[in-house]
Chain A
Amino acid sequence: MVSKEKISSLVDGESGEEFDQLLDEIHASEHCREAWYSYNLIGDVLNKTGVAGASLDRFRRALDAEPTVIAPRVRVKKRDSWNPFVRIAASISFVGVLGWYVFSDLSPLDVSVAWKNPELTSRQIALESAYDEAIADYLAAHNQVAPRAAGPGMIPEILEESRGN
C-alpha cells in the first residue's frame, strides 16, 4: 500500500513520476482517500478558505448518474509551413515558366545558356547552319539517285524548306 507520505507529497504537487500509480492506489483505498481529503482540508483551514463543503456521498451519487465523459484524443496537426502567399507566388511562377516554355521558341534553359555565354551561342548557331546545309546537300543527292515512285511528296518539300533556311 502506498505510504501516506507520498499522498502528502502528491497534495503539494511534489510526487514526481509516480503520479498514475499513486492515483490508482488512492482510488483503491479508502484509507488513502481519507488522507487526501484531510490533507486538503488542513490546507484550506490554514489558508482560511474554510471548512464547509458539500457532501461527497451526495456528489458521488450525482456523478454516478452522469455518463462517463471521454475526451477525444487531441491529434497534433502537422503545421503546414507553406504560408498562403508563398503558395500563390509559387503557383504564379510555375504557370509563368510553363507558359514561357510552351509559347516561346527558346526554352528557359537555352535562354539562360545564351545569356551566360553569347559567344558560345553564336558558334553553336553557325555549326547548326552548316549542319543543315550538309543535310540539305545530302538529301538533294539522295533525291536525284532515288527512284521517283518511292517518295515523291516529302523529300522535295524538306529539301526546299532546308534550302530556304
Chain B
Amino acid sequence: MEAILQRLHSGPSPKIGAELVASVKLSEKELDLQLVRRVQGGDKKAFELLFSKYQRRVNRLVSRFVRSDEEVEDIVQDSFIKAYRALPAFRGDSAFYTWLYRIAVNTAKNYLVSSSRRPHAISDYGSTDEDGFREDELVSHMNTPESELITREIAETVNSTMSELPDDLREAITLREIEGLSYEEIAEVMGCPIGTVRSRIFRAREAISEKIKPMLDVGEGKRW
C-alpha cells in the first residue's frame, strides 16, 4: 500500500495526479447535478440524498462560525432549506457544494449579525491541519454525552475496521476515498479490471458499514 501511494504521489505516470483528481471531481459534480435536476423536477427525496451526503461538511463549515452545537445544527438545517428554496435558480454553472457552501457561510454570518455576535476564530480551538480540520471536531458537535460517545465510537470503528481489511480492499477504498481517484485510475494503479475495483470498494464499505450499523441505529432520529 505504501508503495502504491508513493508511486501515486511521485510516480512518473502522467495520468495520475491533479488532472485526474479534477476529472473525479467533475464526476462528482455531475452526480450532484443529476440529483439537483431531479429536485428541480419536483423530487424532494433527491434533496434528502444531497442533505445526507453534505450535511457533515456543512456542519463542519458552520462550526467555524458558531460554537453552540444546537445553533450549528439549526444553521445547517436552515442553510439546506434556503438552498432548497433557491434551487430553481441553480443553473449548474458551479458545483452544487460550492453553491451550498456560499449559502451556509451567508446563513451563519447573518445569524451572527442578527444575534450581534462575532464569529469565533478557528485558532481559538487548538491545532488545525491544512484543510482546517480539527481532530476535536469529530466529537464536538453532538448534543448529549451519549451522542458524543457514539460519534467517537463511529470514527474509531471506521478507522479500526479499515486497518483490519484485507490489503486489496483497503488499498482500493483508500485510493478512492482519500486519494480521490476514479475507478479507472485505481484499476490502472492496482493492475486489475474496473469491475474488480468496483467490487473491492463495495466490499470494503460493506465491511465497515456492518461494524458501524449498530451505532447508527441509536441516538436521536433516523439518519437516513
Contact = CB atoms under 8 A, between A and B. Distances in A.
Interface in B22-58: 24, 27-28, 30-31, 34-35, 38-49, 51-53, 55-57
Contacts of A66: 81, 84-85
B133 A53 contact: no
A53 B55 contact: yes
B222 A57 contact: yes
B158 interface: yes
Given A8-B198, A37-B52, A55-B223, A45 B81 contact: no
Nearest to B178: A46
Nearest to A32: B224
B209 A39 contact: yes
B77 A52 contact: no
Interface string A13-44: 11100011001001100100111111111111
Interface string A76-116: 00000000000000000000000000000000000000000
Classify chain B's interface size.
35 or more
A47 interface: yes
B87 A59 contact: no
B138 A51 contact: yes
Contacts of B176: 12
Interface string B194-224: 0000110110011011001100100011111
A4 interface: yes
12 contacts: A8-B198, A23-B46, A33-B49, A44-B57, A45-B158, A46-B173, A49-B133, A53-B55, A56-B223, A59-B77, A70-B40, A70-B88
Given A23-B35, A37-B224, A69-B87, 5 more contacts: A36-B53, A37-B216, A39-B205, A55-B221, A56-B48
Interface of A: 4-5, 8-10, 12-15, 19-20, 23, 26-27, 30, 33-60, 62-64, 66, 68-72, 74
Interface of B: 24, 27-28, 30-31, 34-35, 38-49, 51-53, 55-57, 59-60, 63, 73, 76-77, 80-81, 84-85, 87-91, 129, 131, 133, 137-142, 151, 154-155, 158-159, 162, 173-174, 176-178, 182-183, 198-199, 201-202, 205-206, 208-209, 212-213, 216, 220-224
